[in-house]
Structure 1
Amino acid sequence: MNFSEYTREFKYNLKLATPVMLGMLGHTFVSLVDNIMVGQLGSAELAAVSLGNSFIFIAMSIGIGFSTAITPLVAEADSEKDFEKGKSSFKHGLFLCTVLSLLLFAGLLLAKPLMYAMDQPEEVVILAIPYLDLVGLSLVPLIIFQGFKQFSDGLSLTKYPMYATILANIINVILNYVLIFGKFGFPQMGIVGAAIGTLVSRFAMLAFLWWLLKGRDKSKAYVTNIKFFVLNSTMLKKIINLGFPSAMQMFFEVAIFTSAIWLSGTLGKNPQAANQIALNLSSMTFMVATGLSVAAMIRVGNQKGLQNFTELRRIAKSIFLLGIIFAVIFAIVFLALHSVLPKIYVNLDDPINAIDTAEVVTIASTLLIAAAVFQISDSLQVVTLGALRGIQDVKIPTVITFISYWLIGFPVSYFYGKEEALGSLGIWLGLLAGLTSAAILLYIRFNYLTKKLILQKETL
């Protein structure tokens, strides 16, 4: 097949993916703003946000991963022009997201004592606990928002979640500024102020997205007159069967990055702060790949509904190629600016913490080189995972992600991440090993399944 057979899909792929990218970048931008503003307070405060967010990211990964079950079901129903099937998928998915958000918040509250048992710096734990309480509560509107977002994506209305996320970021930046530093007569609340900004902005984001979808002809009938507690056990089971493995896939990946935060904490507050900087920058580029993953889920889901498996395979490969191109660009940026980007997060004019700051910047610069190397692996694995979800293949990919991250990646991080070994760099080499393994194995799975589907269709 000619190269142009793939590249001619780029325009439509980007049309779908760009709003999702910007929306996902918006979620990460909330964390970026928190990190930059809190970083001005000192390395202990930045490490505390890192530690608190490590718990949040685990819970968030389960909620967001579960919600992805809604998109391929709605996309398939949309291509079949089956409104009832689409609304049922959305309603049951939203119900389950709501229940899950409350359970995850309760789980976070119960998990707080673990901070004291994790060999983390005591000053960091003391700062992290009140931050965790408020940001943990913000998971409730965030995961319900994800239910609406995944539904909106399934209808190819990807720009509306982006608009809601932009509003949330504006609110978050304003509240962070006045509450962290005590501006315009507000009390100076430090990292608790950052947590309040996140909480308020996420409630606003949810309300705004619902209002936007209610005003759109294509989505209005779906998001109004929802009989929330009139449920069908078959549809609940179908979404759980899709959503639970998807949640586990995201959990296994996020958990290994979270383990990197915890392992960094055993090295001290400066390595932990540096890890947070590199992780936050990597998250920004990962959101671009995530946008392409959603585009893959939508387009593959549509082609599955049409039973056009040859087109499904071609379109998915065009998105894989686009992801690799972006990844190469980001890798070059990280390599070129690895010593410059970490300085955004710290206060270079603070003479009291000058030694700590210099160490944080040095370690983070090294980690960005590792992050540059794994850009391609990270992009390919998440985009391929999106395509597999579009086919509604979730169980085997869950096994693949577990093997890649926890049987391959984590042991490398653990053994080479010790102070007497490679320290922080060793932790990130484990991340590289896990992501690369996942990318290879998931692509093999996709290649096998799509060839099988095409062959079955031809023999009928």
Structure 2
Amino acid sequence: MNLAQYTKEFRYNMQLAYPVILGMVGHTLIGIVDNIMVGKLGSTELAAVSLGNSLIFVAMSIGIGFSTAITPIVAEADASKKTDNIRSAFHHGLFLCTILGFMLFGLVVLAQPIMELLHQPKEVIVLAKPFLTWVAFSLVPLIIYQGYKQFADGLSMTKVSMYAIIMANVLHVIINYLLIYGIWFFPKMGIIGAALGTVISRIAMVVFMHVILAKKEKLKPYFQDFSFDEIKKATLKKIINLGLPSAMQMLFEVVLFTAAIWLCGTIGKTSQAANQIALSLASLTFMFAMGLSVVSMIRISNQKGLGDYKQLIVVGRSIFLLAIIIEILFALMFVALHQILPYLFLNMDNKMQLLDNAEVISIAAKLLLVAAVFQISDGIQVVVLGALRGLQDVKIPMYITFVAYWIVGFPISYYLGLKTNLGAVGVWIGLLGGLTAAALFLYLRFHYLTKKLIVDNKVIGN
């Protein structure tokens, strides 16, 4: 193995990845800003926003997962210079994202009774329902934005969505400030103000993406003369066949982590708080792997379009190696700072909470040691998943992720978390087991497919 052939790809990989990473951190910040600004109103309001956002997060994972189908089709067509295929993938993808956005909005509104089933306090539910309805509506512009983003990503134009997210975050903070607290002549709307801030900033993201992309000279052919007559059943079917399994892959993982929150809540409030601390930190480092996963999808699709399968393997392995190196660095940071990082999330001056906080820190410190190992597995599984999407192989990976997370991971989490003295640490060992199983079997799938591509290509060549 010649290491240099992989490391020379690192620079270009990071050039493509860093705008995606910043964009994903920006998505996360929209929820964090809501929590910080609403937290000043009171604990009931904060609980209502957290509860509403947990349901939105599940719906959002379906929409984002589905939209990833657009990128490999566009990237492959771009490499092979098939502009008609790019236009077709963009228009059909945007059409399906719009329909899905409205469907997810409707599903979240209809799913509101779940909050009662989760035995949440009545005063929290009363506040959460109107907040949830408005934020659910923001899924419509968000999923439409994803259609534009995945199109731009497929053309290796990853910076445009980064600028859109930065603009949205600035706008979101301003609108939140004016509408939550009633500054200047604006009404004081509390958490509804936060919801409107999310809606308006997400609509602005769509407008921003459309205007910026439509103005680019080389993209003008894709923005002209749109007609519903162009929508073809075969193309819709192709995108749905790629998008639906991708949405399920993302859903399986998101729901596993949501289940971990519920399991830790069953163990006790200190375990739930510790889980939230460790999850917040692990989610932040995971964004780097997610950025590389998008790069993996773009570059593998390009090589597939060019028919250069040997280079495809080199590109794939270079991204896997880069992800492993980055995640090992974060793992070492978690190990070195596992006793210190939890203090960032707690108010240690509060004498009333001193005992609880000490217990939270003790549990969170142990969870960060498990997170140090599991984020390496998490990083590998997500970049390999991106590579498989680039190969437009999504059905078998969907089954692999289901088995890894729900046949391997969840039962371990449930048993070790609730039936042994390990508690929250046991829940996270289950997450580690599921992610490691996913990483291993997804890589074996990538290895099998790429080997097969080279063999088939040699047969055709002969």
Match in the other structure for 1:200: 200
Deviations 1:69-100 (A, max 9, x none): 00000011111111111110111111111101
Match in the other structure for 1:397: 397
2:393 aligned partner, one-letter code: D
TM-score (norm. length: structure 2): 0.92
Distance 1:372 1:120 in 2: 32
Structure 1 residue 386 displacement after superposition: 0.4
Change (3 A) 1:361 1:324: same
TM-score (norm. length: structure 1): 0.92
Three-state SS of the structure 1 residue aligned to 2:453 is helix
Three-state SS of the structure 1 residue aligned to 2:418 is coil
Distance 2:228 2:343 in 1: 49
Instruction: State the structure with bigger RCO (CA 8 A, min sep 6), 1 or 2.
Output: 1
Structure 1 residue 342 displacement after superposition: 3.9
Match in the other structure for 2:237: 237
Change (3 A) 1:256 1:223: farther
Structure 1 residue 20 displacement after superposition: 1.0
Change (3 A) 1:136 1:423: farther
2:165 aligned partner, one-letter code: T
1:400 aligned partner, one-letter code: I
Three-state SS of the structure 2 residue aligned to 1:112 is coil
Contact 1:121 1:269 in 2 (8 A): no
Match in the other structure for 1:171: 171
Distance 2:355 2:181 in 1: 23
Match in the other structure for 1:307: 307
How many correspondences in the alignment?
460
Distance 2:51 2:300 in 1: 37
Structure 1 residue 220 displacement after superposition: 2.7
Change (3 A) 1:145 1:38: same
Structure 1 residue 16 displacement after superposition: 1.1
Deviations 1:180-238 (A, max 9, x none): 45555756555444333222211111111111101112323223432246410110111
Distance 1:215 1:318 in 2: 34
Match in the other structure for 1:263: 263
Deviations 1:28-54 (A, max 9, x none): 122233344445566665554443222
Deviations 1:281-335 (A, max 9, x none): 2222212111111111111001111111111011000000000111112222233
Structure 1 residue 272 displacement after superposition: 3.6
Note the residue ranges of structure 1 that are not aligned, 5 or more in a row: none
Structure 1 residue 25 displacement after superposition: 1.3
Match in the other structure for 1:73: 73
Distance 1:128 1:356 in 2: 27
Bigger drift between 109-118 and 381-390 goes to 109-118
Distance 1:277 1:129 in 2: 26
**Aligned pairs for 1:186-197 within 5 A:** 189-197=189-197
Change (3 A) 1:29 1:428: same
Contact 1:179 1:194 in 2 (8 A): yes
* 1:114 correspondence with 2:105: no
* 1:20 correspondence with 2:27: no
**Aligned pairs for 1:289-368 within 5 A:** 289-348=289-348, 360-368=360-368
Change (3 A) 1:177 1:432: farther
Structure 1 residue 110 displacement after superposition: 1.1
Distance 1:45 1:357 in 2: 22
* 1:55 correspondence with 2:55: yes
Match in the other structure for 1:30: 30
Change (3 A) 1:377 1:428: same
Structure 1 residue 368 displacement after superposition: 2.8
1:393 aligned partner, one-letter code: D
Change (3 A) 1:434 1:323: same
Contact 1:134 1:199 in 2 (8 A): yes
Distance 1:420 1:355 in 2: 23
**Aligned pairs for 1:77-92 within 5 A:** 77-92=77-92
Contact 1:164 1:205 in 2 (8 A): yes
Three-state SS of the structure 2 residue aligned to 1:288 is helix
Match in the other structure for 2:153: 153
Match in the other structure for 1:8: 8
Structure 1 residue 26 displacement after superposition: 1.0
Change (3 A) 1:375 1:149: same
Structure 1 residue 280 displacement after superposition: 2.7
1:195 aligned partner, one-letter code: A
Distance 1:229 1:33 in 2: 43
Distance 1:361 1:138 in 2: 36
Match in the other structure for 2:275: 275
2:211 aligned partner, one-letter code: W
**Aligned pairs for 1:190-229 within 5 A:** 190-228=190-228
Three-state SS of the structure 1 residue aligned to 2:392 is coil
Distance 2:274 2:246 in 1: 30
Three-state SS of the structure 2 residue aligned to 1:226 is coil
Deviations 1:231-290 (A, max 9, x none): 101101111111111111111111111112233333455544443333232222212111
Distance 1:78 1:53 in 2: 37
Distance 1:41 1:418 in 2: 35
Distance 2:249 2:305 in 1: 24
Contact 1:43 1:273 in 2 (8 A): no
2:207 aligned partner, one-letter code: A
Distance 1:332 1:43 in 2: 35
Contact 1:51 1:262 in 2 (8 A): no
2:110 aligned partner, one-letter code: L
Task: Work out the percentage of aligned pairs sharing the same amino acid.
Answer: 59
Distance 2:205 2:341 in 1: 29
Three-state SS of the structure 2 residue aligned to 1:321 is helix
2:66 aligned partner, one-letter code: F
Three-state SS of the structure 2 residue aligned to 1:374 is helix
Deviations 1:367-412 (A, max 9, x none): 3333222111110000000000101111100000000011111112
Distance 2:374 2:104 in 1: 30
Distance 2:268 2:66 in 1: 34
Bigger drift between 368-377 and 60-69 goes to 368-377
